[in-house]
Structure 1
Amino acid sequence: MTNNQNKNEIIKVCLLAGKIMIQSGAETHRVEDTMMRIASSFGSRDSQSYVTPTGILFSIEGTEATNFVRISERSTDLHKVTVVNSISRQITSGELTLIEANRLLKEVDAKTHTYSIFIQVLAASIVSGCFTIMFQGQWTDFIPALIVGGIGFASMVYFHRIVEIQFFAEFLASLIIGSLALLFIHLDIGQELDKIIIGSVMPLVPGLLITNAVRDLMAGHLVSGLSKGAEAFLTAFAIGAGIAVAFSFI
């Protein structure tokens, strides 16, 4: 392998690792640190990386051309982040070659979510019921919250596939949650409307996004921190707006 080919392979591995991590919900500083550690392990100790939620800039040397990767889709899959971190540690310890690391990262990138949609909806249902009880709801509200939360999360996944804008998916899902919660109360199946709604919307709340925004701001990544904070605010606003519209029907 020539020197130029070696540099190109290093760039490919670093960019692929960064792309997987940022798409899976990793913090910006973690992504930059991982990319630079991988490059350093393969002999490029002057690498520079600049990561935002929508793109990655990377160069292995100051005189080399800067490479760019566009990030168009983001989700939450912390298992992928853990796997990439594990591969990075293996590279740092000298256990993997460039070719092996590239192959493993491509396998990780090709995998879909660890859990199926059915399992995710089931988990969201159980979480909704448990949050209702945690917020001092009645046990008679557990089943309504379980049903409403599951339907709300499933509708969010469905609408997000139809409309790529996350705001509308969150808005429509919360509108369905508010309407169903009102229906259960009207049918005397539940007792406390607020507890049912609070528990049901919790799977939609951007908790990881808020956490990453704060951590990026604390680490000095102001652009990423503010952009993630704005995204979290819009998501929270969509949830609140959907519930408010549902209440306007009363």
Structure 2
Amino acid sequence: MNGFQGSYSMNENKTGFAHEVAAICVLAGKILLQNGAETFRVEDTMNRIARNFSVNEAQSFVTPTGIIFSIEDRDVTQLVRITHRGTNLRKVTQVNSLSRLIAEGELGLSEAYRRLKEIERSDHVYPNWIQIVAAAAASSCFLLMFLGKWEDALPAFIAGGVGQAGTIYFHRLTKVKFFSEFMSSILIGLIAVLSVKIGAGSELNKIIIGAVMPLVPGVAITNAVRDVMAGDLVSGLSKSAEAGLTAFAVGIGIALALSFN
């Protein structure tokens, strides 16, 4: 350690030290939860960090929309509200690596907090054009995986790319995820219908299935199942409902587009 804990011990200010530990644990949990980590990982990481700083009476309660962290013997409780969630496994990996460094005694409180703030502020997100091209390429690959025809790969490529671009654009207009996914699925359905009508594609269903795959909430579904199996029923059911809303938005968007066929 870097002497941070020692300074508190010398001043017998254990409550102040506990507040610092709680701040680090909550920040680590916040980063994990906002970037796609499952509830068990968030709680386990927070408790491990606390134990590695010699705080053994820590309790954490995590839901998809909030974190409560408490140190019982010091009457320390912190709460943080989670207003947005996404998927950035790079940040999840970085926090896990930092937790291991703390466990090995290589980081003290101040350095750990500084690095966590750097991770939180970092913006390691691919540019929009790369996300669009990747979604388009993935759509073509999914179509072929579902035994679609090669001649339908181009319509699926275009539909998948436009769908991803629509998701990015509509999400800027409103933070309501349901709306952006609904509008994007309409665009995908219309492009698929148009491509078949003009003869650029042949199998409408395969084109649509391939193009909507980038919108499928795979991480949310996986985490929901993992949380339910681990006994975190509140988080598991909440994430299941969130994934269900995404599936519903995609479904009704495609259905609306097909009504123009």
Task: Provide the TM-score with structure 2 as the length reference.
Answer: 0.94
Q: Distance in 1 between matches of 2:129 and 2:105?
A: 40
Aligned-residue offset at 1:239: 0.2
Q: Distance in 2 between matches of 1:84 and 1:114?
A: 16
Which residue, 213, 238, 244 being the options, matches 2:224? 213
- Listed one character per residue, the Cα deviations across residues 76-112 of structure 1 (whole Å, up to 9, x for unaligned) are 0011001100000100110111111111110100012
Which residue, 211, 220, 223 being the options, matches 2:234? 223
CA contact (8 A) 1:79 1:114 kept: no
CA contact (8 A) 1:145 1:199 kept: yes
Secondary structure of the 1:114 match is coil
For residues 4 and 63 of structure 1, do their structure 2 counterparts lie closer, same or farther at Cα, with a shift above 3 Å needed?
Answer: closer
Where does residue 191 of structure 1 map in the other structure? 202
Q: Distance in 1 between matches of 2:171 and 2:71?
A: 37
2:215 matched to 1:204?
A: yes
Aligned-residue offset at 1:63: 4.8
Where does residue 255 of structure 2 map in the other structure? 244
Where does residue 139 of structure 2 map in the other structure? 128
- Structure 1 segment 66-215 matched on structure 2, within 5 A: 66-215=77-226
Where does residue 17 of structure 1 map in the other structure? 28
CA contact (8 A) 1:129 1:199 kept: yes
Aligned-residue offset at 1:62: 4.5
Secondary structure of the 2:123 match is coil
Aligned-residue offset at 1:46: 1.1
Question: Residue type of the partner of 1:107?
Answer: E
CA contact (8 A) 1:217 1:225 kept: yes
For the pair shown, which has the larger CA radius of gyration, 1 or 2? 2
Q: Distance in 1 between matches of 2:73 and 2:249?
A: 43
Aligned-residue offset at 1:113: 3.7
CA contact (8 A) 1:53 1:228 kept: yes
Where does residue 51 of structure 1 map in the other structure? 62
Aligned-residue offset at 1:48: 0.2
- Listed one character per residue, the Cα deviations across residues 34-82 of structure 1 (whole Å, up to 9, x for unaligned) are 0000000001011000000000000122451321000001000011001
CA contact (8 A) 1:39 1:60 kept: no
For residues 150 and 41 of structure 1, do their structure 2 counterparts lie closer, same or farther at Cα, with a shift above 3 Å needed?
Answer: same
Q: Distance in 2 between matches of 1:113 and 1:159?
A: 22
Task: Provide the TM-score with structure 1 as the length reference.
Answer: 0.98
Question: Residue type of the partner of 2:117?
Answer: K
Q: CA RMSD in A?
A: 1.0
CA contact (8 A) 1:145 1:200 kept: yes
2:58 matched to 1:60?
A: no
Q: Distance in 1 between matches of 2:91 and 2:151?
A: 38
Where does residue 34 of structure 1 map in the other structure? 45
Aligned-residue offset at 1:115: 1.6
Aligned-residue offset at 1:186: 1.1
CA contact (8 A) 1:58 1:67 kept: yes
**Structure 2: 5+ residue runs without aligned partners?**
1-6, 9-13
Aligned residues: 250
CA contact (8 A) 1:25 1:208 kept: yes
CA contact (8 A) 2:182 2:250 kept: yes
Secondary structure of the 2:156 match is helix
